Structure 1
Amino acid sequence: MSLPLPETEKLRQLGLAVIQTEMQAVASLTTRINQAFVQACEHFLSCQGRIVVIGMGKSGHIGNKIAATLASTGSPAFFVHPGEASHGDLGMITAKDVVLALSNSGETDEILTILPLIKRLGVPLITLTGNPQSTLAKNATVNIDVSVEKEACPLGLAPTASTTAALVMGDALAVALLEAKGFTAEDFARSHPAGRLGRRLLLLVSDIMHTGADIPRTLGTASIRDALVEMSRKGLGMTVVLDNVDKVLGVFTDGDLRRALDTQINVHTTDVQTVMTRGGKTVNANYLAVDALNLMQQHKITTLLVLDDASNLVGVLHLHDLLRAGVI
């Protein structure tokens, strides 16, 4: 259904107004990166347990995301629903933890119900509230003010700018802690092993290389024709050339075949070792896959031989293996 142009423009203006309101809410947070923010970070850094995030309703959704961000950036954290906490889940909080509570009003009943129990545990209570004079803020070890001038909702009812402000402050805390802890890209990859970065930084050649019967191999005394048959059977565009005690002599590739045909040699009678590329580029099975990729790119090749510490052939790595594994 197409709307009249005036209605279309009205919708566009409404959308822009929301973004403008939320931009202002986020901008106002710059003055809240103060001593309270620093103190909150200090409590998190000295935490010997976990950061337990609690929040109700929309604040709960934001809290869940903050907990996930903290956990993935080196600050172990999890979310506890305050309603469930008063029915047993409070046992998930230990004396070594730090509690991070979110409530725009600072008067959320479900959180205030468990407040005395949190205080009894003696754990630091960090709060993100929109009312520094609220019950929750006054009982906090450290309260960070995330109040906004107005919600983006024209009714002033739906949490919009306030939840955005809380989310941004949560990100500010997480990233500050990340930097303070010296959290690296490798650390991030370890907690995201299925992600692209995890694959690039953690995947080893041994995880994706061809082994055993999948390795194309040919004796050096075999004919070029026999080497071609092996290449076609294994589908890697090459075959490893070995001596009679399985030591690597070199590799025979598509490129070697083209060069050999230019000389008009007999593929049925000529030994493959006379036209192979001697040696070949090699890596260890414990080599990082991303380093193997760099080696291929550096030498403009598509295959690496994988040798053990005794120089025995244990695998073959092809560029397509790196592609399938998401390293490229």
Structure 2
Amino acid sequence: MASAEGFDSVEKLITLDRTDLQNGLKDENCQTEEEQLSMDFLSLLEIDSDNDSLNSLPQESGKWCSRNVLRKQRHWEKITAAKKCKRKQEKERRKAKNAQDLQKGATEQKHSKKFLKALTKEHLLEAKDSGPRLCIDLSMTQHMTKKEISRLAAQIRRLYGSNKKAEKPFWLYLTSFVVNGLLYDECVRMNDGFVNYLVDTTENSFLDVFPLETVVYLTPDSDNALEDVDPEKVYVIGGLVDESVQKKLTYHKAKDHELQTARLPIQEYMVKNINMKNFHSEILAINQVFDVLSTYYRTRSWVEALQAGVSPGKGYVLRNKTTLEEI
């Protein structure tokens, strides 16, 4: 009996231990299962969360990016359009301003030219009433070739141009000037606006136009040096271009009519300059003679006057300062 009871006790203990062990294992298993379930649940949450992030982020970000890009693009298009419009307006404004400036400049230039033309005309007409008078005697064209006549026409143009610019202009006369003659035709052909020149022209000789006592015939062969320019006198220049150098042609004409003669004071203020050709000439073109007279009338200095009209090619230079002071 005792052994049977002992056996039963042992068996109970084993049963209890087994039960406890099972319960313990069960508890452990339960705990492990709970932990596993929790871990699995959290994993699922993380996965879902990650999946949601992965699924939603690109879509939402893409939508946001698309809206932002679109907004920026529209903003940029507005700015570009505004700039383009502004550039167009600025270009049109500049174009209009340039056109206005050109028109204004053309108007001012036109008015300026018109004003200067009127001023020159007034200036020359004053000389007609009170200024000195210069006459070009054109009665010797029969002594000239066609080439020489063309050169004379060019000299008349230069003379008139210098007189227009002069501070104190002369009033000009062209005498023995035959309309439709060879010289006239050359003047019209070579000189723009010649028919509108502010000069007196006549086919008559200067001998029939001016009182002889007022005439001073300028010729390089005269014995008298011109000392002054008198507004009461009429200074006559022989309109002659003579490449063959016919001696004393103008001088003899003046003497034949018992006219007062004079020459430019080249000998008094200038000396011959040594040159390779040993060339020296006091014969000047009519425009050069005028430049001397005009400069002297303005400055009252023969030194300045001769410097202005006598070119170095004539073979003369001014005397030294000491000699000039003695004159």
Larger radius of gyration: 2
**Larger relative strand fraction:** 1
TM-score, L = length of structure 2: 0.23
TM-score, L = length of structure 1: 0.23
